[in-house]
Structure 1
């Protein structure tokens, strides 16, 4: 449902507490106390039929008796009556409900039925439900503490979302001690309705939120979650601790790919694709949260370490090396400045060892120099009490100086009671302090990881030299026939035909049903040949000794045929054998790779890449990613493996080989995107020889799917259905299609042709060039959230972009803003109107009801186009601009006038 009505939950004007009480140690008491003590500015209505008044306020028997509008209802009564209460809230026009009550699906079937009843009462009404089985919610800017937590969080810019109420309580308690502030503190509980995707979408749009921290047990509505997280993580860090490990079901997978793609790895891949930093422990979550709350984000990994104990500096360096990072090299200028302030026997390098007798003056002067050093992106200050220094005094002086630091500064005051006062000074000054250097370094690297994520999200992929072609009709026929005949494990010839239909090269493979036919096929293919068992009952041919290689004669083939069948029947007496496959024996490959598809029950298809052949299960060198893929994403997938580094390091395997593998990964991802029936697919091995690649063996498992493509994907794919060829301006033939990430260079070329006036009309500012982040924003769109069509002038060897139109959904997904840009030399030919009209039609199909845009008064061409398309045009009071609005709920023809 998106963010509908969530503002009524987190910025309510009135609250009803159902189950309000004055009995201490009851949830109803705690919620009323927190609302009142938190100085909630709106009306609070206690609801409890047993009382006429509670907390010096009139008490009501039900929500229906309250004679004023209620925005939020907090339910703190037994869950069995929650469906009835939600029904009353719906009828009374309540905007949102927080159900504190436990006893839902976590208790078994009866609890699940209660939750289903609650959901039934709420659906189609617009009312939003948080919980059940939750601690409640806090929004500090609204002075809202609708929870039974023991205290109100400190106000800050970090949002915390958790499925576990106990984790919420622990984080809150620690945050008070460490002086960490929050803007939102939300326990989502069982996520009957509002889930992580909803919260990220809502909170991410709030300017009072600088970062989001989550404790995750499981995810729901994965496509929406990925869409929301990918949109928000570009501008705000999202940190997640995911508990729970791999399901045992993965062990029963039929293919290598299925066995290698575990649930925890899939969560890793999902978070990475969404730009989320994943942490592994509660301690790491809190440490990272502390740095996020108290520091600016690092612009790089250049960490300087100041210490009065050389050994601890070495420990910090060792911790850095675990991430493949070296401490920043100090510039000659920085060392020269330090020489003037430090004893001659200081370390003269990073870590900066101040020696054990360092006092407050030496610490302060060193910190000042490091703060000004351009090569430094972060500063760790370590102190060990050594008798000659005063940890509290040093902390106080540094805290006073570091009130406004330009990059992350954090500390490690090691020891017990002797350093506690110093730690308190640092915490009070919002300077993070950690028990050990290793914890400090880990938290810094988590922040750096987010910065790298943003760089990767904004990197634009290279363009393919031409459009990839796919034979979807042939692939569909193979899959359809397999399902209709009940052959859910395709044989090798069928599997390779499926790959070939998507442009993935395979070696020629023939089936022989007897020894004589095997000899005939071998002679046709030419010796030497390879022979393999062909049976749908045999998942792995090596398990039945069903492979023979380097067969060089007729007698070899005849003998091998009988041996293979005998060996298979010995291992699997009930196996139905179709015969054997005969294929040319290829030269020994330089490398063997594995590529595959695994359909996860929750995440849909994932793509696997790694080292193949006999080393697949031994080394388990693999990485996974989600379709769709482009060249950049395919290369990133490869880069996560050891075999990629070997490939890249071999002179014989140049960029051509890597490009070929990229293309095959893209083709494989497209196959996964087009056919939800594919449960598992193995290409093992994919061999590399002489600048060519070939799928030597393939295995495909299919199953009837209840979900149509592309809704089985968690990331919206490129919408091919919105491509078309049109003619405008009499004889101008254009290719209109959705924008692609690879279009960054075309956008840049279009921008260079624009006049200053056209730029000002579009961007409302005199922009001279498009930054990398703008290019990423314009081209790497979420097709579920944004509609962007481009007009392409096609030539024999290239493409030229001459116009683009967008319809971008707003906080309410039924409302959207439009924008149009056409190259100056193409004005007046109807290109902008054609693009926008098509965007509006697509938006109407997506459920968008209202589209608006702001146009400068001087932009007469845009105003005329708006009038032509049926927009309502209104002058903005006291501004030199107009607002154009169109209602897409009107009949279709009204849009196309």
Structure 2
């Protein structure tokens, strides 16, 4: 990707001297922006452009330009791309519009462009884009005039108009950028590629996205989950009004609309989502200029009572309050402020506040450790010039531990003051509400990091799943050419995955219903069974609390009559009978829906017949562990009730977590399940039981219950890679991929290391593992990282981690860096060789070409291991280090 952001030479194909043309704007912006590389005009109709020699074709240029900007009619672009491939150009930005956004003809042209570049290794940005800007390199490869200030904020946008708006606003707010990318139609380079690239660039402190759609959700999720751990990603996703469940046949299908699924995906990736362009600007300005807060404790300094209340009210919308003031702070403020100050937070320093009063209070707040952020509000008044206050504050906050931001309220009177603050990198907002919301977006990112670093608890027992039973049930339905499983079949599927259901039988007549009910404990519930009526309640197809034969006969006839009235053409198979659970404490809903972009999406929320009306739900993406399941539950309004309310016994939350984990595994294993509605799950005396269920299936290309799980956007735990083995010294090992739940085992392994072993692995003195570092080792993305642990089991069956080895792949998947860590008591027993060999074999299967690692010269164990496995060993640039490299294209492992 480097050729787009630091090219040594650029060809402008379609360059010309015609004022107002894109070709002229592109070459002017490169020259006037101060780009230091070579600019080459390409236009067969011009001998020179802007005084530079023009070439008829890029193939005539020697040496070949590293990057080409194409601004010619879209129909000419496929041939031009072929010429770029022949010339050896590494990157192409297609400015030209008229691709798939215009219909089939444009889509066909894009296919031709892809075909022209296929197999060449060339990367393409566009078509229908503005280009890229890299201020630090004086590179403006767009048709937007001017060069934004240098900064640490990277912007990726699908909309050229949004790009122009951000650039214009940035000039007013003194916002600087590290990278600015308009990606257009994403024929090749997409959000995932750029997030990966920018995540590895140290000059980037935060990444802003304007998104309309995704082309490769799995790549996007993988990149975002990795990068959001080290720098914030903020997204404005357009298109909220689209409904993704038009023909939903279950409650879940109706409730899991497209935009809600995007929300769930962003949360899982640690991304902060903003709802509007104004909020994007506000959040970006604060992210770019100020440190991130450690928490929510906000100090509000104001010279007007009303604006302070507005700020406090905005905090209250999010369930927060201004930070309480300690007795010490109160006493010190009492010495500074007049006797009639507010004596609380917001700190009202009164309308007659002088410059000195503003400074004294801000100094006190900055020196305190009681605040995570400081908002300064000023309303213009005649006694104190706003620009004098701004200048004093600008000097004071050059070094700050917490974010400091301002709301200078007014118009022309405060314009000079706002400019002073902007130049001092103090974000300014027109209203206190906007200022507080921007701060809370930063708080959300801080919370994201905390959540991403939490280690999930293990389940108390290993879960068992009867996959063969589910496979048989699904394919029996396919043979019968039905896509909607009956309630009884649906419950068989759930039971096979350990989800508790109440026993249910089928009756095809009133007499059979009476006979079957006689074998059950009364009362019973009766429900319609029809493949053509999915919402039984709508057709009067649910009859409850049936206590005798007469009740059962009447219920049967009511159900049949109601079904025929609801849909005269509906096939009526019969009715289901099951024990009636009276007096349930709670009703919840579980389910899943397959989304076009993100695959299976799980749902948890308030259940019953009012589920859609209540709209109390949380969505999540598989795979789930207990921690992720609990987070889903915590996002619903029913959870406080489930925890116990007055005389109602609490639900067993651990079992609900387990149900969600089991449901997650079901949709992982069976992509044929496209909708699943388990509603209600009744909870009585704490115990959950699914009393109704509907599952819709769809035949896939063969049974895709394969090893790659391509129907998922997050790679699940690769259980098929588990194996038992023996070292060369006949030591038994259980080798498997690492799990997030392994955090406690990893800590024990770390504690077994001597200081020397720690130094060999970490190249520094590390005494403890922070939650962030621990999460980095144990919560891996199985798509981009290969990480195996070696375990043994003592006589009591307690797991013990003996070592770990991993290969972290680079974004292109061709190269990866390895590392090995073996506990001191088990070094020299061949464990490291087994683990690293396993990692190398998987890397080779995935098509990785080069694996390398850096080893300290005194680490003789690792050097010997490298020789044993066929690594090439060379001294590094630092004489105290060796670089070990293996070529997997030729290695025989």
TM-score range, shorter chain: over 0.9
Distance 2:878 2:73 in 1: 55
Contact preservation (8 Å) 1:750, 1:802? yes
- 1:606 pairs with 2:601: yes
Q: Which residue of 2 aligns with 1:714?
A: 713
Q: What stretches of structure 2 of length at least 5 have no aligned partner?
A: none
SS of residue paired to 1:250:
coil
Q: Deviations over 1:229-283 (max 9, x none)?
A: 0111111011110111243451320000000001111111111111110000110
SS of residue paired to 1:778:
helix
Q: Deviations over 1:397-426 (max 9, x none)?
A: 111222222211111111111111111111
Q: Which stretch of structure 1 is more off in the superposition, 649-658 or 837-846?
A: 649-658
* 134, 142, 163: which one aligns with 1:139: 134
Q: Which residue of 2 aligns with 1:14?
A: 9
Q: Which stretch of structure 1 is more off in the superposition, 264-273 or 519-528?
A: 519-528
Distance 2:173 2:229 in 1: 28
Alignment of 1:427-438 (within 5 A): 427-438=422-433
- 1:479 pairs with 2:474: yes
Q: Which residue of 2 aligns with 1:3?
A: none
Distance 1:854 1:878 in 2: 10
SS of residue paired to 1:371:
helix
Q: Which residue of 1 aligns with 2:317?
A: 322
Q: Deviations over 1:427-464 (max 9, x none)?
A: 11111111111111111111111111111111111111
Q: Deviations over 1:50-81 (max 9, x none)?
A: 11111221100110111212110001111110
Q: Which residue of 1 aligns with 2:527?
A: 532
Q: What stretches of structure 1 of length at least 5 have no aligned partner?
A: 1-5
* 227, 235, 240: which one aligns with 1:232: 227
SS of residue paired to 2:628:
helix
Q: Which residue of 2 aligns with 1:508?
A: 503
Distance 1:692 1:807 in 2: 43
Q: Which residue of 1 aligns with 2:79?
A: 84
Distance 1:835 1:477 in 2: 37
Distance 2:644 2:368 in 1: 36
Distance 2:227 2:729 in 1: 43
Q: Which stretch of structure 1 is more off in the superposition, 828-837 or 729-738?
A: 729-738
Q: Which stretch of structure 1 is more off in the superposition, 558-567 or 73-82?
A: 558-567
- 1:258 pairs with 2:263: no
Q: Which stretch of structure 1 is more off in the superposition, 37-46 or 790-799?
A: 790-799
Residues 516 and 327 (structure 1 numbering): CA distance in 2 closer, same or farther, change over 3 Å? same
Distance 2:457 2:650 in 1: 14
Distance 1:812 1:316 in 2: 46
* 447, 450, 457: which one aligns with 2:445: 450
Distance 1:30 1:731 in 2: 71
TM-score where L is the length of structure 2: 0.98
Contact preservation (8 Å) 1:204, 1:232? yes
Q: Which residue of 1 aligns with 2:802?
A: 802
Contact preservation (8 Å) 1:599, 1:605? yes
- 1:568 pairs with 2:563: yes
Structure 1 position 706, deviation (Å)? 3.4
Q: Which residue of 2 aligns with 1:467?
A: 462
Contact preservation (8 Å) 1:653, 1:691? no
Residues 812 and 576 (structure 1 numbering): CA distance in 2 closer, same or farther, change over 3 Å? closer
Contact preservation (8 Å) 1:304, 1:327? yes
- 1:590 pairs with 2:585: yes
Q: Which residue of 2 aligns with 1:703?
A: 698
SS of residue paired to 1:642:
coil
Contact preservation (8 Å) 1:159, 1:183? yes
Distance 1:285 1:143 in 2: 25
Contact preservation (8 Å) 1:875, 1:882? yes
Distance 1:289 1:506 in 2: 49
- 1:245 pairs with 2:226: no
Distance 1:421 1:516 in 2: 88
Q: Which residue of 1 aligns with 2:653?
A: 658
Q: Which residue of 2 aligns with 1:821?
A: 821
Distance 2:415 2:645 in 1: 55
Q: Which residue of 2 aligns with 1:376?
A: 371
Q: Which residue of 2 aligns with 1:169?
A: 164
Count of equivalent residues:
888
Distance 1:394 1:654 in 2: 58
Distance 1:805 1:266 in 2: 35
Distance 2:114 2:812 in 1: 22
Residues 246 and 720 (structure 1 numbering): CA distance in 2 closer, same or farther, change over 3 Å? farther
* 99, 107, 116: which one aligns with 2:111: 116
Contact preservation (8 Å) 1:279, 1:285? yes
SS of residue paired to 1:251:
coil
Contact preservation (8 Å) 2:374, 2:405? yes
Q: Which residue of 2 aligns with 1:785?
A: 784
Distance 1:402 1:861 in 2: 51
Distance 2:603 2:641 in 1: 18
SS of residue paired to 2:688:
strand
SS of residue paired to 2:55:
coil
Contact preservation (8 Å) 1:299, 1:451? yes
Q: Deviations over 1:4-61 (max 9, x none)?
A: xx11111111000001111110111111111001111111100011111112211001
Distance 1:32 1:654 in 2: 72
Contact preservation (8 Å) 1:97, 1:128? yes
Alignment of 1:626-645 (within 5 A): 626-645=621-640
- 1:334 pairs with 2:333: no
Residues 608 and 365 (structure 1 numbering): CA distance in 2 closer, same or farther, change over 3 Å? same
Distance 2:741 2:85 in 1: 47
SS of residue paired to 1:866:
helix
Q: Which stretch of structure 1 is more off in the superposition, 60-69 or 523-532?
A: 523-532
- 1:33 pairs with 2:53: no
Contact preservation (8 Å) 2:252, 2:592? yes
Distance 1:552 1:293 in 2: 68
Contact preservation (8 Å) 2:729, 2:830? no
* 306, 313, 325: which one aligns with 1:311: 306
SS of residue paired to 2:29:
helix
Contact preservation (8 Å) 1:246, 1:262? no
Distance 1:550 1:672 in 2: 33
Structure 1 position 140, deviation (Å)? 1.5
- 1:746 pairs with 2:740: no
CA RMSD of aligned residues (A): 1.4
TM-score where L is the length of structure 1: 0.97
Distance 1:126 1:652 in 2: 67
